[in-house]
Structure 1
Amino acid sequence: MERLILQSDWDEVLKEKEEKAWVSYKQGVQQSIHGSLWNQGVSTSGVPYVTGSDGFTVQEVTKRSITVSYTDDSVNLYRKFVAPSTSFKSIHSERKSVVSLDVTGGGLGVSADSEGKLRLWQTDTGEVRRELVGHCADVYTCQFFPSGIVVLSGGADMQLKIWSAETGKCAATLIGHRGAINDTAIVDRGRNVVSCGRDGAVRLWDVGQQQCLGTFQEIGGEVNSCCLGDVSATLSLEAGDQATSDREVGTEGKLLVLGCENSTVQGYGLQNRKKVFEFPTHGPVNTCAFLSEVTAVCGTQDGHITVLDLRNIRVPLQEWKDSRSAILCFCPYKGGFFTGTGDGSCFYVDSQFHARVELTGSDCDPVYAVKCDGSDVYTACRDSRIRKYSLAVCGESLV
């Protein structure tokens, strides 16, 4: 896939007259074409007047975004680059990677770092409200329940923990994994949750009684990610061989998709525990997400993105690879998705599989998580920063 690459701190550099930011055009393994953007002055509204060189043209510029095109005899490509409205520096310690993140529409965020710190904070100011203390090692995954006042976390200590966001207290601990927990999914309102881990186990839990209700078999090794979708209107899932426990709530019609280290994406009926499909990928699958009732997306360690039609799993709807390194996370939005990568890129792919918007700020540091609260997008990065981007600035390019 062809792409434009812009200097990560372009918004700071181009504030000053005569200052330049570098820009490049890259297609596959071909040699990159380099150019510059430079500030030739500032308007009365404070917006810089920026021009380009060597085939690069600035179509539009604001304080937080710049739209750049590259044109030659065979290429006509544009991208909108969006700078963060806020960069939170003090939620986590400097030089500690932020490895997991979630936000609510109610103004709360939760994140975990490579030091094992799990913290609740305000999305408007970045003020830390609670530190959730109880895990014995690194925390790899954290997310809010639909209520927005309860948090689910898991990590290297093989424990799942349920936290009150109001008090910061741990309300329940779920024990059963024999390896680190890599990811979780919440069933409906959260009476049941799913976890997957390095022990190759995937478990369905009853939160209230802190018991495992069932496991998924023959996965074939470590499970890196999981996601749940309601496919009851589009796919028929067989009934299970045994009666369903009355402690299971909302599992009927749910498809569980797993991203696996053995280079497969696998689908299971959540209620019947039966495998529905297994799709071979180009490499270990780091992340997966539902885009709709009939489509899901997965990303691999070698940089492939694959969109699957769950009604016809044999042939991908779309598949591509570019030079963005490992695909680390997805956040579905308006039929498309944001994704973060190992080389620090964070971009939006629309429902037609076009990448038109890049979120800038990371200087080649991996983006481990990206989340949306309906008005802003948040990213978690190896450089210890949590960055916040306005969806309004991204504009029509996300439709």
Structure 2
Amino acid sequence: MRHASLRAMTVYGTLTAVVFALGASVPTPLYPLYQRVYGLVPFQVTALFAIYVVALLIALLTAGRLSNHLGRKPVIAGALLLNLAALAIFLAADSYQGLLLARVVQGLAMGIAVPTCGAAIVDADPERGPVLNSVVPFLGMSFGALSTGLLVSLAPHPMALPYVAIGIFSVLSLLALVRMPETCPRHPGALASLRPSLGVPRAARAQFIRYLPPVLTGWAIGGLYMSLMPTLLNRALHTESQMVTGVIVCVLMGSAAVAVMVGRTRPASRMMLAGAVAQMLGIPLTLAGMELGQGPLMFLGTMIVGTGQGLVFSSILRLLLPLAEGQERASMLATFFALSYTAFAAPAVLAGMAVPYLGLMQTAFVYGMVILVALALALLGLRRVPEPKRC
């Protein structure tokens, strides 16, 4: 295959992955609007987020390997069509149930697109592909939240225009796909690939348990930001501006993207420790900013937390992947993502359920304290994390 064609596929796969990540973050700045229009309580907001994550996880575990058998292009096309369907449902939704349906379809599209676009990028550029796959989700969600916040605050039709914009990008991606090369030929076994394979090799279990907690706390923090943070910001800063929500999510994801780039060439064990410590430092600053109503302090804490997340995420796969081989590696990765996405959604749902009893701000403080305790315990296990042996 010609070098120019492979380069085109690298660019295409990266931009298409960004489109999916953009769309995934669009609803977050809109949550306060949905609350006002549909009279939603915090639990319903977190359920909107959680149902998306559950659908994403189901698609990831079942259809994540489908492109190895059907080819990258047909599966990317299917994911883009699902994404367009989700956007159409968002635009037509006139009830909470419509929003739930849209989030389910969007989660399915994202769960299919993430591994397929990622595989296409690595096919076309094995050297830079893993780095692009690490950074693209953070960049996409960062720009998606920021641009949606700007559109909601400054443009007309705030509950429609962001989805129309993502729809246009999705159509352009679909049209451009026709000109792209296929990087993975068809292979038999498509139906068998739909069966999830979970498990951790016995030899890797102790290290898996040691490395995982800082990652799960990072996902749990992200879940709070992507669900209740818009309402928390409005309450803490006494503002109804959705631009503020877009900016804080942008700060979280953007700082994580920068940290991934910085940490990828440094010793994984040190980056894991540094990331866990950064999260521990950032959470109290963010909570203090909420309590004092100080936006700059909240944003500083968020930037430190995001940096910690990026350092942890840049380290975890480098530490885990050498511990398994072949099918064991695929099963371990599936288990890793299943636990990660559970941590992304479940704590946020529990927080939404607690709000009527504790209040919004108090729930956020309890949430933060639980994560701090979990991080402190995780650090005890990370004090002596060896670098994985390289073959």
TM range (shorter): under 0.3
Q: Which has the higher helix share?
A: 2
Larger relative contact order (Cα-Cα within 8 Å, sequence gap ≥ 6): 2
Which is richer in strand? Answer: 1
Q: Which has the larger radius of gyration?
A: 1
